[in-house]
Structure 1
C-alpha cells in the first residue's frame, strides 16, 4: 500500500513544528473543521510569515489559541501527525540544564504574557461561546455524512428509485440525529471538566421513549423534547452536581455515591424542569426563524449575509452551531445556513476583483489563486486573513456582496420558497448536496445558485469600483509580476532578435 498521503501529511506537520517554536513550545493541540489549534508557551517564537509561506498553510489566525488554517480534510490528517512529532520531540529532547532565573528574564516573561493576554482579549462572553462551540464542532463530520445520506434518500424517494434501499438509507441518516443529545451531553461534560460518560447518561434521559409516561408542568413529556439545548443544560447541571459531590463526599464512598447522586439529581431536574423549558426555548427558536424569513426575508438575509464575515473574523460563527442543530432537529434542515453561506460568495467576488485591480502585485495574486478553490467550497479564512482583511476596504465590500446574496435567498423565503441545509459545516458549492426545501430540488438548487452568483457579482463590482483608493492602488501595485500585463501598455513585448 502506498504511504504517499501519510508521508505528505507528516511532511506538513514536520514543516509546521519548528516554525511554532518546536515541541517544547506547544502545550496543547486540537483541531476544528479547518484549523489546527495549538496553545503556546512563548508566542514570540512563532515565525508567522514562514508559516504563511508553506504551501499547505492557507492562513494563520491569532485568537485564544494559535490557529493554522489547513482546510477541511487536510487538518484531520495533519493533526495526528503533528501530535506524534510533538511527543517524539519531547521524549528525544535532552533535559535542560538548570540555571538561575534573573529578574530581567522574569520581567521579560511577564511583559510577554501581558502582551499575549492583551492580544487575545479573552472576555468571559467570548470564552463561553468558544466552549459551547467546542461541544458541537466534533459532531460536524457525522452531521455532514448523515445530512448527505438524508438528501440522497429524499432524492431516491421523490424519483421512486430503489424502493428497497430507501428505508435503509433513512435509518442510516436518522440514527445519529435520534441520539445526538447523548453526544452533546458527553462533549459538554468533557468540555466543562466533568466525567463525560455521566454527562451522556443524563442527556440520554431526554431521548428515552419512557419519558412519554411522565407529566411535567401539566403536560406529558415527549421523547427528544428539548433536544440539544436540553442535553446541554442537563450535562452542565451534571458537571456542577458532580464537582460538588467530589468536594463533599468522603473519598472512600466517592466511587459509589458521586455517580449515583449526579445522575439522580440531574436526571430528576431534567425530567421535571429542563426538558420542558428547553423544549419551549427550542420551539421559540424555530418559530422566530420561520417568522423572520417569511415576513422579512429579504431584509433579514441582507443583515445576516452582511454580518457573517465579521463573525468568522472574530471566530464567533461557531456559536451558531446549537441554533443550526436545533433547527435541523425540528424541521430536517436549517434555513439560516444557505443565507450565511452568501458571505463566502461576497468574499470570493471581492478576491477576484483584487486580483484584477492589482496586476503587478504578484505575491498577492498568487495568494488569491491558491485560496480561491477553497473559497468556492466555502472555506473563507484564507481569503479573509490573506487578502481582504489586511487590505481593509475589500473586507467591507466583500460584506456588501454577502449582504446582496443573502437578500436574494431571503427574498425567496419571504415568497414562500423556503429551503435549508440538512447539515452544518459545508458552504459554497459544497452545500449543494445538502439542500432541502418545500419546493422541487431543481428550484431549490436554482435559487441557491442565484444567490451565489449575486454574491460573486456584487462582491466583485463593489470591490472593483469602491475597494481601493488611488493611494492604495499606487502603493499595492508595485510588486512587478513578469507574467502580468501592464495596465497601460498591455502584455510585455517579446525582445527583438539581433
Structure 2
C-alpha cells in the first residue's frame, strides 16, 4: 500500500513539473526531490504546492520539492520510473489545463523574479554548494552509525548486554574510520574527475602504513587531516587527471593517466596536504571549543539567530565539513544542538501565526500540516510556506532561535559541553544522537530546555511583534470572508480576499 501511495505522489507531481520531457536530471537529498528542468515556465507552482504530500518548493540551482525525510527517498525511485516510462511511451494527452488567473500569473512572475534575485549565484556560493553536495549523500550513514554509537554508549553506561558492545562499536566506527575514502570518491565525482581515483588518493590518508612516513620532521598518523585532507587530495587528483587527459596520448591514457594521478596526488598528500589539513582540523576543533567555553551565550545567540537565513539560502549544508571534522576529533559536534534552536524558534513563530490569523484557513492548514515536520527539525515547509512570505514572522523566528542558542551556549560556557554524534537530524529527532561529558540526563535536560526557550521566545516575539495592523487586516481573512458575520471580533475583511493573502500558502488548501 505504501508503494502505491509513493507512486501516486510521484504521478501527481510529474505533470505539474512539465511531464517527462521537461526533466533533465533527478536527485534527492534528506528532504527534497531535486529536479533539473528544461523549461521552468511549464511548472505549475501553486498546484504543486497544493498537493498533500508536498511541504513546499524551493528554487535554487535545481527545482526542489520538499517532501520530508523518509518520504523523499521512497518517492524519488517511483518518480524516476514514471519519467522513464513517459519518455518511452507515445505522447500522452495534455494534463489538466488549469485556468490561471491574472493574479496567479502576476504572483508566479513575482515569485520567479524574487527567486532569481535571491539566487545570486556567485562563484563562491556555487563552490559552497558543490562542497555540500559531496557530504549530503553521506548523511544517512552518519545518522545510522551515530545512533548505533549512542546505543552502544547507553548499554555500556547501564552495564547491559556487555557482549553486544564490541559489535555495536564495530558497526558505528567502521564507516567513520573510512569516511575519508567516501569523501574523496564524492569529491572527484562532483568536480568532474574519475570518482574511484579520488577515493584511491583519499584512502592514503587512512592507510595504517603512513605511520612509517615522516613529513615536516613529524611522523604521520593514520587519519591525519581527516575529511578536509581527503577533500583537498581528491580536488588535486581531479586537476592532475584533467591535465593528463589533455596531454597524454589516447593510446597510453588508460595506463598513464591513472598512474600519474595517484602518484602525483599521493605524494603531495603525504608530504604536504596531510600535515596542513591536520593543522587546520585541529584549529577548527580548538576554536569551536574555545568559542563556546569563553563566549558560549553570545556565540549561541549569533549562531542560533543566523541559522534560518542560511537554511533559506541553502548554505547550511556548507557547515557539514566542519561538523564532520568535530565528530572525527571529539565524537560529537558541539555546534549542531545550538544551530538546531533555529528550528525551535521557527516552530514557536508558526504557532503564533496560527493564533494570530484565526480566519485565514489556508495559512492555518499549512501550519497544521507542516508543524509535525517542524518539531522533527525539517524547517523548510514552515520557512517557505509561512514565515518568509509573511516577512516579519521570519525575523521573530530568528529571535526565538537566537534565544534558544544562547541558552544552550550558556551551559557550554559553564562547562556542560555536549553535542550530536551525527549530522542531519534536528529538533526532537536529535535526542537519540546527543552525547556529552556530563551524563545523558543533564545533556537531554539542557537540550530540551533550549528547545522550550526557542519555542516560547519565537511564539512571544511573533505574537506581539510579528504583525502590523495592516498585515492583520490583509492576512486575517479567507475565501469565505465575504460571508463572515458583521459582528466578528476580528478586523473587517474586504469583500474579496486580497491577492497577496493566498501567496504565502504552499500546501493544505
User: Aligned partners of 1:478 and 1:451: how far apart in 2?
Assistant: 34
User: Quick check: 1:153–1:170 contact (8 Å CA) kept in 2?
Assistant: yes
Instruction: With the length of structure 1 as denominator, give the TM-score of the two structures.
Output: 0.92
User: Aligned partners of 1:139 and 1:223: how far apart in 2?
Assistant: 21
Correspondence 1:65 to 2:52: no
Q: Secondary structure at the match of 2:425?
A: coil
Offset, 1:122: 1.6
Which residue is 1:106 aligned to?
none
What is the aligned residue count? 468
Offset, 1:488: 3.0
User: Aligned partners of 2:14 and 2:471: how far apart in 1?
Assistant: 36
Correspondence 1:208 to 2:207: yes
Which residue is 2:423 aligned to?
424
Offset, 1:5: 1.2
Which residue is 1:98 aligned to?
none
Structure 2 CA distance for partners of 1:487 and 1:466, relative to 1, 3 Å: farther
> Segments of 4+ in structure 1 off by > 2 A?
114-121, 484-489
CA deviation map 1:30-51 (0-9, x unaligned): 1110001111111111100001
User: Aligned partners of 1:428 and 1:382: how far apart in 2?
Assistant: 14
Correspondence 1:176 to 2:179: no
Correspondence 1:51 to 2:52: no
User: Aligned partners of 1:233 and 1:385: how far apart in 2?
Assistant: 35
CA deviation map 1:442-475 (0-9, x unaligned): 0000000000000000000000000000111111
Q: Secondary structure at the match of 1:425?
A: coil
CA deviation map 1:222-246 (0-9, x unaligned): 0000000000000000110011101
User: Aligned partners of 1:163 and 1:85: how far apart in 2?
Assistant: 49
Which residue is 2:399 aligned to?
400
Q: Residues 48-447 of structure 1: matches in 2 within 5 Å? A: 48-93=45-90, 120-447=119-446
Offset, 1:6: 1.1
Q: CA RMSD in A?
A: 1.8
User: Aligned partners of 1:269 and 1:79: how far apart in 2?
Assistant: 40
Offset, 1:90: 1.2
Structure 1 unaligned regions, length at least 5: 96-113, 490-498
Q: Secondary structure at the match of 1:28?
A: strand
Q: Secondary structure at the match of 1:27?
A: strand
User: Aligned partners of 1:481 and 1:266: how far apart in 2?
Assistant: 67
Which residue is 1:450 aligned to?
449
User: Aligned partners of 2:91 and 2:306: how far apart in 1?
Assistant: 50
Offset, 1:28: 1.0
Which residue is 1:488 aligned to?
489
User: Aligned partners of 1:121 and 1:398: how far apart in 2?
Assistant: 24
User: Quick check: 1:344–1:380 contact (8 Å CA) kept in 2?
Assistant: yes
Which residue is 1:14 aligned to?
11
User: Aligned partners of 2:162 and 2:319: how far apart in 1?
Assistant: 36
CA deviation map 1:322-360 (0-9, x unaligned): 000000000000000000000000000000000000100
User: Aligned partners of 1:120 and 1:280: how far apart in 2?
Assistant: 34
Offset, 1:126: 1.2
User: Aligned partners of 1:395 and 1:481: how far apart in 2?
Assistant: 27
User: Aligned partners of 2:312 and 2:36: how far apart in 1?
Assistant: 19
